[in-house]
Structure 1
Amino acid sequence: MDKLLEIVTNAAEIVTKAATLLCPDFEENTQTLQRKIELLKSRKVDVQADLQKAGKKRKREVEDWLINVENNITEFETLEQEIQCSRFYSRQKLAERVERMTKEVIELDDQSDFPGGLFLEVDESIGQLMLTPPHNGQAFLQNFNDIWSSLMDDNILSIGIYGMGGVGKTTLVMHAHDNLLNEPKFSGHVYWITVSQEFSIHKLQSDIAQALKLDFSCGSDEKKRAAQLFQTFQKMGSYVLILDDVWKQIDAEKIGIPPRRDGCKLVITSRSEEVCHRMGCQRIIKVNTLSKQEAWELFFKKLDRDELHPEVEEICKKMVKRCGGLPLALVTLAGSMRGVTDIHEWRDASEELKESCMGRADMENKVLPILLYSYVRLRDPKLQRCFLYCSLYPEDFSIEREELIENFISEELMDRRLSWRAENDQGHAILNQLERACLLERVWDEYYVKMHDLIRDMALGITKHNPRYMVKARLNLREIPDVQEWTEDLDKISLMKNSIEEISIGMSPNCPRLSTLILSENHLKSIPDCFFTQMRGLRTLNLSATSIQYLPHSISDLENLRTLLLRHCFSLKSVPTLEKLRLLTRLDLSYTKIEELPDGVESLTNLKVLDLVGTSLSMIPTGILHSLSLLQQLKLPIHRGVPIEDVLALKRLEDFCGSVNSVSDLNRLITFLQSMMPPSFYCIFLISKFDEQIIWETSRGKLVGFGKESLMGSSLGEGKILLPRDIEKLIFSRSGLSGSLADGFQMLNNASYVKKCNVWYEDEIECIIRLSSTEEQQSRGVPFQSLEELSLYELPNFIGLFMWEGKAAVAPLLPGIFTQLTDLVITDCDKMKKLIPWSLLQTLPNLQMLEVISCKEIEEIIGDEDDDGSPVINSSAEVTMPRLKILSLGNLPKLRSVCKGMMICDSIKNIIIMSCTNLKKVAPLDGQPSPPPSLKEIEVYAKEKEWWESLEWEHPNANNFLQPFVKFIPF
């Protein structure tokens, strides 16, 4: 026996040595791949969040990227299992897979930049990267001209811009930044970094690397990181690096910023002229305050009044004088007084402002009292609570409105309402009031708000006393603050967006008053059990997007907890019992690895929000949901059908995402939802098998989806399928549709109200509508009268939008079909040769965006044929598309013509043509004596420049006048 044991031991050593000799770096390479996979997961989450928020048409390349990311994540999970049970003879193959996957993951990370954005049309109000606020008169223009002339002067390589807080330094430089993006000499290499008061070398290096899309290969060593940054800048050529809000001297060499070099510019903004001098700025520009006249004009504009009573005007002028020409103070003060008409209130306000500023000699110190006055002017405690809550987010951070409102509700900062919709409306009203008071500013349309750094300073100043906050958000902390900082009087703590990996064993802060703890977006893997034992008053715990693998059992004893957020904790597999958390109103376990509902969920009788989307739940036990009678929002994983009787018992449900198993269940659920107050949102799927693609469409909206084989066989024997009357979007994915999409719509009640439709992977679909006699069309009705967006993907038998029944001439389409269609996207439909018949083009009068990608057989976009196959359109015919703004054509190897006739599109803005090298002419650019008036850009692959220059043009000068619009995109 001993001899046998010795042989086995020796054999094991040989196996280990052999594996090491064959693949010496295998373990390290595997760990590197794992880290890159985690980063890719985070980037995927960010991209999906941006797609959900923006509500615009995403690019095909974005969807392809998401699919590739998910495939790599799945393959890596399989790879991990194989590694665990591998032997030396398979280790070499595994090492090769690790190497291949690492390259793929790096490529995917590089691709995540998405040049030109995620969407097919960038909102003009946003610009490319920054939303530049409107400027303030002559002073702004003078300052901007000084900055711009310095930027264009080849002899000036470093520029310092200084002035007091709130004077408009950042606004000026944002304006310069947006203009520099279009400056050919810098080729788009313009990088904006916000430094802020909480400065560290490590954090600044990380921020610069993120802007450069650079992945540090040297870990956390600051010297090695500096060397890597230095090399990246050196290889770049000309660039502009903007460091905004610099509070003290920065050693550029320690950061990795190269010394002065021709063609490269360093721009800093600071409140201190001395900082500009110490950083060796060659040109230093002071941003002055506004003149009396400009200050008055700005204040009056923001006050939004046509005229003022003479006495009120006199008071206003005194107030304006106290602002000292500082734009931020003027805007904020005017916002706080907007709508005030009573003279007594004006006089009282003037006196209050005067007292708040007394004893403050310098203008910098007078600003905060003015801002504080605007906070006091809110009067309403709930407005003040919600405003202060915004300071928990990092400096210079765009905060999602919906997320804020969800937190306002769960933190009980607002008045209680009977329904979620009413509370949501109240939240939007509060944010609008704070915007009107100029304490928040709106960014990215209606989706985000932001706090000016001075206003945030004022808010944090308030929260040093009552209520008491500790805010250390996005400061690149690697360790949790010392226990001495966790004082007994703290109300809220925010440590979000740091690099904290662990909490010391034995740490147990004494914070009996603490109501909110935010640890989201850290690398935290575990929490010691004693950590929460002295936080019995905790009401909100946010651990979202951490690497937490398990939760301490002490969470089970937080009986005052109202909100538990664990969203995107991808490593979390289980949660301790929740039986005692009977006051919990919001539980978010979405995108975790839990496979079973936590014990005690049935005891959460006060629960209003339950989110389980993206989990791997094996089942939802019957009766569990029935006990949660107060649920207003319920979001379930779509790979499992919901117990329909349990859902029908939820009389307060307003927001639902989940799957049902049959047409009967679908009809019952929709009838139930419509019988109450119409739901705010729903994503309902009739699905018999899990379909990964659909889950990406479970954004907030009003959506019904049909998954694998759900429209085949016996399920259709249950009668007509109901759709909600207010449905916005319809999805078909391997559902079993055949013939035409219009035939599928015939099975659906209320389908004529659908605004958006996606059709994916339907093997039997041949067209959208079959053309037949007028009588037959009338009998079928008008199926697409409300349709605005149509997306078709991978339909192998699809031949075109329209299909004739026989070769005989047919009557025209019934009025109303497709008249509302604005967006048409077609991808991977390889059987299609022509997309739109010329004779039926008039049925698409409102088409604004047309994208055709990777359709291998397509020859013409717009075309017709006689019975003998000869084309109907001749070169002199005119084709008009009056509202087309975007034409995107890619990877169409047989495409010969967009349209044989002359194509008139005066509204066209963007044309993207890539890998269509058989195309000889480009409508709607051909035959015109000048570019279309709205044209902004023509995108072509850089490698196809020779093809572009070989195009034929009717007008002899076409190539010349189009050249300024052409942008060659690297492959």
Structure 2
Amino acid sequence: MDKLLEIVTKAAEIVTNATTLLCPDLEENTQTLQRKIELLKSRKVDVQADLQNAGKKRKREVEDWLINVKKNITEFETLEQQIQCCRFYSRQKLAERVERMTKEVMELDEQSDFPGGLFLEVDESIGQLMLTPPHNGQAFLQNFDDIWASLMDDNILSIGIYGMGGVGKTTVAMHAHDNLLNEPKFSAHVYWITVSQEFSIHKLQSDIAQALKLDFSRRSDEKKRAAQLFQTFQKRGSFVLILDDVWKQIDAEKIGIPPRRDGCKLVITSRSKEVCHQMGCQRIIKVNTLSEQEAWELFLKKLGRDELHPEVEEICKKMVKRCGGLPLAFVTLAGSMRGVTDIHEWRDASEELKESCMGRADMENEVLPILLYSYNRLRDPKLRRCFLYCSLYPEDYPIRREELIENFISEELMDRRLSWRAENDQGHAILNQLERACLLERLLDGNVKMHDLIRDMALGITKHNRSYMVKAGLHIREIPDVQEWTEDLDKISLMVNSIEEISIGMSPNCPRLSTLILSQNPLKSIPNCFFTQMRGLHTLNLSGTSIQYLPHSISDLENLRTLLLRNCSSLKSVPTLEKLRLLTRLDLACTKIEELPDGVESLTNLKVLDLVGTSLSMIPTGVLHSLSLLQQLRLPIHIGVPIEEVLALKQLEDFCGSVNSVSDLNRLITFLQSMMPPSFYSIFLISKFCGHTLVERSRCKLVGFDQNSLMDSSLGEGKILLPRDIEELIFSTSGLRRSSLANGFQMLNNARYVKKCNVWYEDEIECIIRLSSTEEQQSCGVPFQSLEELSLYELPYFIGLFMWEGKAAVAPLLPGIFTQLTDLRIFGCNKMKKLIPWSLLQTLSNLQKLEVISCKEIEEIIGDEDDDGSPVINSSAEVTMPRLKKLRLVHLPELKSICKRMMVCDSIENIIIMSCTNLKKVPPLDGHPSPPPSLKEIKVYAEQREWWESLEWEHPNANNFLQPFVKFS
């Protein structure tokens, strides 16, 4: 036996030496790539922090960058494992992948500068935050014209916009911001910073640094921070800095804002004309209230009524008059009265509003009594509870709807329902009611937000009964003094601050405290005595902190229902949870725990368990079986689920995890689809050679396929049972031995609801669909009829989306294929020469985004011949792509033609053409006497300016009228 072991050891050593000789630099190059990946991770964290702390809609190129970064990070994790267990024959291929990935990562690092910022125009995102009417009314237009004239006047370098709270200062300033983004003289260097009432130099510097994409995380000295901001502004040349909601004078030099100089403008909005004077504004513009007629028209619009009963109309006009022309007041008032028809209720409402205003004469702002009245109109106590809960978040903070609803459920603010789906639906209904009452504002990305005045009103209510302590988003560095932690407190929010430690020995006496939120602080540790006098605590949120270990006193919080530790990236262990038998929600996602905490099996009331992104190596047998009430279960995708225990969870409604075999996959899908109501799920099929898949969980029905497992007989054989309602498919290094994806995976023909499909690293795929005779096609079904996004990455033998059987005639396309496709991305498909044949154009009539990157042999984007080589019959017809908004062509060395004929593309907004130097014409921009009406930007590599200037144009003035849109980056 010893001799055999010695032979095996020597054999392994010989193989290792041979593989090392074959690619001697593989390990060293992998280490280099790892360092670059770590730098990219850091940049990703910075970008995500900027996105999270702003209430704006991010640019699509930022979304794409994040997707590509995530893809590379996850691919590297897989690559590392494959290198560790690689065979002799694969070492060369792995070395090539390392070299390719290194180039990609370097390119992503270069792209992370994002000229013009991370966000779209404010009109598409932040503008939705305001409750005033969007860009209408004589008063609004007059204010905007005055502001715009001052911005265009080179002699005016500082502008003040003032007016009472709720009058619409922010809205008109945002409209100016929108227009400035398209003003060439400022080169998109337009920055929006919300200052707010709780102002500090340190916080304002941090907010400006985020807008400028500077990293201030390791720099605390305000003078050095100011110097860095000053230098960055100087390098930007012309810029506009808008400071919204300034309450008191700000020393611009202490912040790092350059003094007045040509091309640089400072704009502030404030409730005080005196503040505008103190800050030296050269032009001061007052935003006036609306006229009675404008106020009345807007009130009716928000009320959703064109005509009213004469007596109701008389009451309404009195109520509107009481609002004093303040848009926020009467819009909120209309929201609270929407749907009321009974005259008695109208009279009662009018009397109630009158008493509210009389009883609150001491309030600082005229609008607050009306907002308070709108709150009082919420007759349902759960609506009031949920509304007040929203005030725990910082001012101007975009709040995820899903997060709010999860908290409503955890905090027991709503009625109890039997299922998670029913409670989730109730949460959405509550948020919708608060939005309709204009007490919450919905952003375009689905988040919600409180107007600062409405939040002030909510905090005033909680201060009156002394139940809340809210110091969220104030950039405070120390925990409040123990004297502030009174016995009456119910909820405390200290989220989004700079608290690093809690003093040793601090033990607040808060026996009634139910909710403590310390999330998003750089908090590293908590003294053990801190929780000893908080035995009534129901919710503890430490998410996003730098906590390294938890105090053992947490184990004694026997009334705890919710423990949130998500994104505590330094946390490696959790003390025993055995006594926390009332716990219903435990979130340990994205921590570094390697083992489940002791006592988890005792949490028999647990409904939500999230372990995604942890370092767990296994789920101990019997643990899940004891958690019979689980409704939501999310497990790390690198370990297979204990299938029998999952199948025993009869209340499971939301699942994310991995299985080890096709048979387990089919059993799990059958189980989940049998649940009532139907489940949400993300299932990943993994193999022993691949520890990670290339997708992350999303709240939709999703299955990720890593079909390496299908090639491994030890993992089980059989046909995959594709869920009938699947929305997203991912194929990655599957070893699929068919040239057509749809033909090789027949179940796709019945996947009618698939909206997204990604195909990565498939060595055999030549096309997506192979077409034959019409009869054969109809017998096979129609795949991809609902597909909206298709992404193809590094398919070495890919020729085109469609291939036809035989060359005699082109088989007609079945109706419905790809007709819903809006996004098409193709990367690294080096054998493809033509992307879209003429006959496919009608099918792609809904295409909005087309990206072709690093395809070495592609010569045409839209061909002038069909795939059988026959010329198009109507050769004079122009090409129309009615919905195309973005065209991105990068690193296509053989590309000679986008389209050989005139192209109509009036919807085009962004064109990016880089390293396509054989291209002579750009048809979407040519052939017309003016640029396309939607055009915003043309981006070209700076070193390829000469190529751009050498392009040929059909229209003689094309180069001139396109010049303002061209940006060399």
Does TM, normalized by the shorter one, top 0.5? yes
- Tell me, what secondary structure is at the counterpart of 1:160? strand
What is the deviation of 1:857?
1.4
What is the deviation of 1:586?
0.9
The 2-side partners of 1:216 and 1:930 are apart by 45
What is the deviation of 1:443?
1.4
The 1-side partners of 2:9 and 2:504 are apart by 37
Where relative contact order (Cα < 8 A, 6+ residues apart) is larger, the structure is 2
What is the deviation of 1:725?
1.2
Q: Check whether the contact 1:158–1:266 (CA below 8 A) recurs between aligned residues.
A: yes
Q: Residues 81-111 of structure 1: CA distance to partner in whole angstroms, max 9, x if unpaired? A: 9999999999999999999999999997785
Q: Check whether the contact 1:15–1:88 (CA below 8 A) recurs between aligned residues.
A: yes
What is the deviation of 1:12?
37
Q: Residues 845-901 of structure 1: CA distance to partner in whole angstroms, max 9, x if unpaired? A: 433332111111111123366999797799745444444333221111111112334
Distance 1:340 1:768, change over 3 A: same
Q: Check whether the contact 2:163–2:287 (CA below 8 A) recurs between aligned residues.
A: yes
Distance 1:783 1:716, change over 3 A: farther
Distance 1:483 1:554, change over 3 A: same
Q: Check whether the contact 1:762–1:795 (CA below 8 A) recurs between aligned residues.
A: yes
Q: Check whether the contact 1:835–1:861 (CA below 8 A) recurs between aligned residues.
A: yes
Is the deviation greater in 342-351 or in 804-813? 804-813
Q: Residues 700-719 of structure 1: CA distance to partner in whole angstroms, max 9, x if unpaired? A: 11111111502324379733
In structure 1, the partner of 2:594 is 595
Is the deviation greater in 199-208 or in 61-70? 61-70
- Tell me, what secondary structure is at the counterpart of 2:44? helix
The 2-side partners of 1:320 and 1:363 are apart by 19
Distance 1:57 1:653, change over 3 A: farther
Q: Check whether the contact 1:863–1:871 (CA below 8 A) recurs between aligned residues.
A: no
The 1-side partners of 2:15 and 2:501 are apart by 35
The 2-side partners of 1:790 and 1:90 are apart by 29
What is the deviation of 1:389?
0.5
In structure 2, the partner of 1:535 is 534
Distance 1:267 1:930, change over 3 A: closer
Give TM-score scaled by structure 2 length. Answer: 0.87
Distance 1:144 1:225, change over 3 A: same
Q: Check whether the contact 1:722–1:748 (CA below 8 A) recurs between aligned residues.
A: no
Q: Check whether the contact 1:508–1:530 (CA below 8 A) recurs between aligned residues.
A: yes
Distance 1:340 1:4, change over 3 A: closer
Q: Residues 275-299 of structure 1: CA distance to partner in whole angstroms, max 9, x if unpaired? A: 2222222222222222222222222
- Tell me, what secondary structure is at the counterpart of 2:122? coil
What is the deviation of 1:390?
0.6
Distance 1:899 1:182, change over 3 A: closer
Q: Check whether the contact 1:218–1:225 (CA below 8 A) recurs between aligned residues.
A: no
Distance 1:117 1:286, change over 3 A: closer
The 2-side partners of 1:723 and 1:164 are apart by 59
The 1-side partners of 2:130 and 2:267 are apart by 16
Distance 1:533 1:658, change over 3 A: same
**What stretches of structure 2 of length at least 5 have no aligned partner?**
none
In structure 2, the partner of 1:829 is 829
What is the deviation of 1:775?
4.6
**What stretches of structure 1 of length at least 5 have no aligned partner?**
none
In structure 2, the partner of 1:424 is 424
The 2-side partners of 1:338 and 1:578 are apart by 48
Q: Check whether the contact 2:159–2:267 (CA below 8 A) recurs between aligned residues.
A: yes
Distance 1:90 1:410, change over 3 A: same
Q: Check whether the contact 1:194–1:243 (CA below 8 A) recurs between aligned residues.
A: yes
Q: Check whether the contact 2:903–2:924 (CA below 8 A) recurs between aligned residues.
A: yes
Distance 1:267 1:811, change over 3 A: closer
What is the deviation of 1:903?
3.5
The 2-side partners of 1:92 and 1:772 are apart by 38
Is the deviation greater in 212-221 or in 944-953? 212-221
What does residue range 727-876 of structure 1 map to in structure 2 within 5 Å? 727-737=726-736, 739-747=739-747, 750-805=750-805, 807-863=807-863, 876=876
Distance 1:531 1:795, change over 3 A: same
In structure 2, the partner of 1:715 is 714
Q: Residues 831-857 of structure 1: CA distance to partner in whole angstroms, max 9, x if unpaired? A: 222223334444434333321111111
Distance 1:358 1:84, change over 3 A: farther
Q: Residues 678-721 of structure 1: CA distance to partner in whole angstroms, max 9, x if unpaired? A: 53421111111475874543221111111150232437973321
The 1-side partners of 2:246 and 2:22 are apart by 51
Q: Residues 115-166 of structure 1: CA distance to partner in whole angstroms, max 9, x if unpaired? A: 5788999996778999996145111222222222222222222222222211
Distance 1:88 1:762, change over 3 A: closer
Is the deviation greater in 60-69 or in 477-486? 60-69
- Tell me, what secondary structure is at the counterpart of 2:266? strand
Distance 1:400 1:677, change over 3 A: same
The 1-side partners of 2:414 and 2:185 are apart by 52
Is the deviation greater in 462-471 or in 10-19? 10-19
Give the percent of matched residue pairs that are identical in Structure 1 and Structure 2: 90
In structure 1, the partner of 2:137 is 137
Q: Check whether the contact 1:205–1:255 (CA below 8 A) recurs between aligned residues.
A: yes
Is the deviation greater in 570-579 or in 350-359? 350-359
Is the deviation greater in 370-379 or in 676-685? 676-685
What is the deviation of 1:902?
3.6
Distance 1:927 1:240, change over 3 A: closer
Q: Check whether the contact 2:749–2:784 (CA below 8 A) recurs between aligned residues.
A: no
Alignment RMSD? 7.5
In structure 2, the partner of 1:550 is 549
Q: Residues 479-533 of structure 1: CA distance to partner in whole angstroms, max 9, x if unpaired? A: 1111111111111111111111111111111111111111111111111111111
The 1-side partners of 2:589 and 2:652 are apart by 19
- Tell me, what secondary structure is at the counterpart of 2:757? strand
Q: Residues 438-471 of structure 1: CA distance to partner in whole angstroms, max 9, x if unpaired? A: 11111124xxx11111111111111113361111
Q: How many residues align?
A: 964
Q: Check whether the contact 2:637–2:692 (CA below 8 A) recurs between aligned residues.
A: no
The 1-side partners of 2:19 and 2:367 are apart by 67
What is the deviation of 1:809?
3.8
Distance 1:865 1:265, change over 3 A: closer
What is the deviation of 1:167?
1.4
Q: Check whether the contact 1:493–1:518 (CA below 8 A) recurs between aligned residues.
A: yes
Distance 1:116 1:806, change over 3 A: farther
The 2-side partners of 1:203 and 1:121 are apart by 24
Distance 1:785 1:286, change over 3 A: closer
The 2-side partners of 1:97 and 1:223 are apart by 46
Q: Check whether the contact 1:193–1:244 (CA below 8 A) recurs between aligned residues.
A: yes
Is the deviation greater in 241-250 or in 404-413? 241-250
Is the deviation greater in 369-378 or in 134-143? 134-143
Q: Residues 336-376 of structure 1: CA distance to partner in whole angstroms, max 9, x if unpaired? A: 12222222222222222222222666895432221111111
The 1-side partners of 2:228 and 2:30 are apart by 23
The 2-side partners of 1:74 and 1:430 are apart by 38
The 1-side partners of 2:777 and 2:92 are apart by 64
The 1-side partners of 2:821 and 2:19 are apart by 61
Distance 1:26 1:736, change over 3 A: closer
Q: Residues 759-779 of structure 1: CA distance to partner in whole angstroms, max 9, x if unpaired? A: 111122122122334454344
- Tell me, what secondary structure is at the counterpart of 1:693? coil
- Tell me, what secondary structure is at the counterpart of 1:363? coil
Q: Check whether the contact 1:723–1:749 (CA below 8 A) recurs between aligned residues.
A: no
The 2-side partners of 1:932 and 1:644 are apart by 56
What is the deviation of 1:820?
3.2
Q: Check whether the contact 2:586–2:610 (CA below 8 A) recurs between aligned residues.
A: yes
Q: Check whether the contact 1:622–1:643 (CA below 8 A) recurs between aligned residues.
A: yes
Is the deviation greater in 762-771 or in 550-559? 762-771
Distance 1:809 1:42, change over 3 A: same
What is the deviation of 1:605?
1.2
Q: Check whether the contact 2:81–2:690 (CA below 8 A) recurs between aligned residues.
A: no
Is the deviation greater in 86-95 or in 605-614? 86-95
Distance 1:423 1:746, change over 3 A: same
Q: Check whether the contact 2:624–2:645 (CA below 8 A) recurs between aligned residues.
A: yes
The 2-side partners of 1:555 and 1:281 are apart by 54
The 1-side partners of 2:714 and 2:8 are apart by 59
Q: Check whether the contact 2:786–2:818 (CA below 8 A) recurs between aligned residues.
A: yes
The 2-side partners of 1:17 and 1:830 are apart by 33
